[in-house]
């Protein structure tokens, strides 16, 4: 069964309850480091460390182009290092192999993986290979902060909220890959965007060396859910102006409950960076657009559509509708 992630409510899901439970019981915080709760752990030696898995039937289907699955497995894992203000350096790859996984598919996966290694400057140093009923890939990535690590917990009242690139194409691409009825001229481009996500290494290097970033996260669960993680960890609220969001084909949707806005807010897997800063950041940095979509406030979490307050609950209903 393909899990439709867009059906996940914006409230705390079971997944996050378990993570909280682990964090509050057996999770550790080393002196001079940071444990569970951010995109990657910070170890006292000053390095960033993260792991992620992609499971057939949950994150991808074996009928999809395997080179894309290979590319995405590394890009999406390395993105957590970038979200901490770091450069991904080394990877370990564990592959769970069912008997049905052919040599041709494996070759394609490795070709995509190698492309991502080249694009982001990552070296593969090891891994594990196991028999498994379900095809899966698990990635561990080690990196180094460009400056100081940028945490989810540093957002301050008055900071602007920025997002890099565009949001929503990955969720549109998922629909295309699942063969759903979807209108638009850029279907191929969207599917490609789902399988070849960005990993904003060079952009983050410029951002952290030129500006003061108070908090950052990569957009994997969906813009609102990920901004909620920043708000949770920083103990703040936010005001977001939906019409300012960088979506593809702006002219199409007339309400925040319609495409493409609904997918930009709730779609996920864009792997763009959401960050906060007290500074005015230029609209293009290192060749990538950077859009200010709102600001950090004391407590409430509010979404606006041309000045009108939008209920978060309606947004959720809006996007589960598709």
Binding of residue 80 to ligand ADP (CB under 6 A): yes
* Pair of tokens at residue 259: 């495409």
36 binds, among ligand ADP, Mg ion, none (CB under 5 to 8 A by kind): ligand ADP
- Least Å from the CB of residue 83 to Mg ion: 5
Phi, psi of 166 (to 5 degrees): -125, 155
Radius of gyration of the chain from its Cα atoms, rounded to whole angstroms: 19
- Which entry of Mg ion, ligand ADP, none binds 38, CB below 5 to 8 A by partner kind? ligand ADP
Sheet of 48-55, strands arranged across: 41-42, 48-55, 136-145, 86-97, 123-131
Applying CB under 5 A, does 270 fall inside the site for Mg ion? Answer: no
Residue from 5, 6, 8, 38 touching ligand ADP (CB under 6 A): that is: 38
The reply to whether 19 sits near ligand ADP by the rule CB under 6 A is yes
Asked if 37 touches ligand ADP (CB under 6 A), the answer is yes
Which range binds ligand ADP by CB under 6 A, 34-42, 136-144, 163-171, 265-273?
Answer: 34-42
Q: Is position 36 an interface residue for ligand ADP (rule: CB under 6 A)?
A: yes
Helix (H, G, I), strand (E, B) or coil at 195: helix
Question: Nearest approach, Cβ of 49 to ligand ADP (angstroms)?
Answer: 9
Residue 233's contacts (CB-CB under 8 Å, 6 or more residues apart) are 37, 38, 151, 152, 153, 215
With H, G, I as helix, E, B as strand and everything else as coil, classify residue 11. Answer: coil
Query: What would the two tokens of residue 189 be?
Result: 């481009």
In sequence order, which residues have a C-beta less than 8 Å from that of residue 298 and are 6 or more positions away? 157, 236, 237
Q: Using CB under 6 A, which of the segments 30-38, 203-211, 268-276, 304-312 binds ligand ADP?
A: 30-38
| Cα 126 versus chain centre, distance | 25
| Contact by Cβ (8 Å): 58, 194 | no
| Maximum CA extent, the chain | 56
Residue 22 binding target from ligand ADP, Mg ion, none, CB below 5 to 8 Å by type:
ligand ADP
Asked if residue 169 lies in contact with residue 270, where contact means CB atoms within 8 angstroms, the answer is yes
Of positions 5, 6, 38, 39, contacts Mg ion by CB under 5 A:
39
Site membership for ligand ADP, residue 166 (CB under 6 A): no
Among 26-34, 76-84, 122-130, 135-143, which window interacts with Mg ion (CB under 5 A)?
A: 76-84
Kindly give the pairing relationship between strand 86-97 and strand 273-277: unpaired
Task: Write each residue from 214 to 233 as x if it is in contact with ligand ADP (CB under 6 A), else as -, in one continuous string.
Answer: ------x-------------
The only residue of 52, 56, 175, 218 in contact with Mg ion, by rule CB under 5 A? 218
Regarding 170 and contact with ligand ADP (CB under 6 A), the answer is: no
Minimum Å gap between C-beta 37 and ligand ADP is 5
8-state DSSP, 185:
T
Residues in contact with ligand ADP by CB under 6 A are 19, 22, 36-39, 52, 80, 220
């Amino acid at each position: 069964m393909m899990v439709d992630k867009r059906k996940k409510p914006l409230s705390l899901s079971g997944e996050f309850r378990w993570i909280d439970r682990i964090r509050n019981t057996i999770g550790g915080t080393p002196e001079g480091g940071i444990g569970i709760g951010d995109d990657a752990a910070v170890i006292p030696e000053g390095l960033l460390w993260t792991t992620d898995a992609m499971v057939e039937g949950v994150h991808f289907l074996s009928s999809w182009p395997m080179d894309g699955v290979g590319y995405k497995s590394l890009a999406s894992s390395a993105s957590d290092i970038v979200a901490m203000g770091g450069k991904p350096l080394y990877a370990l790859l564990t592959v769970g192999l069912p008997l049905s996984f052919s040599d041709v598919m494996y070759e394609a996966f490795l070709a995509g993986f190698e492309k991502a290694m080249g694009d982001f400057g990552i070296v593969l140093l090891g891994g594990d290979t196991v028999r498994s009923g379900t095809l899966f890939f698990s990635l561990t990535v080690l990196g180094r902060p460009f400056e100081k690590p940028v945490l989810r917990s540093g957002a301050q009242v008055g900071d602007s909220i920025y997002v890099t690139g565009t949001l929503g194409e990955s969720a549109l691409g998922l629909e295309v890959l699942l063969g759903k009825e979807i209108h638009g001229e850029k279907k191929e481009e969207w599917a490609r965007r789902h399988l070849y996500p960005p990993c904003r290494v060079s952009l983050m290097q410029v951002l952290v060396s030129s500006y003061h970033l108070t908090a950052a996260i990569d957009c994997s669960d969906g813009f609102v859910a990920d901004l909620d993680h920043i708000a949770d960890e920083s103990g703040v609220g936010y005001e977001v102006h939906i019409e300012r969001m960088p979506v593809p084909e702006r002219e199409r949707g007339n309400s925040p409950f319609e495409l493409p806005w609904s997918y930009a807010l709730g779609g996920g897997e864009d792997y763009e960076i959401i960050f906060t800063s007290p500074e005015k950041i230029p609209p293009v940095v290192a060749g990538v657009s950077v859009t200010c979509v709102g600001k950090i406030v004391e407590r409430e979490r509010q979404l606006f559509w041309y000045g009108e307050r939008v209920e978060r609950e309606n947004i959720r209903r809006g996007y589960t509708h598709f």
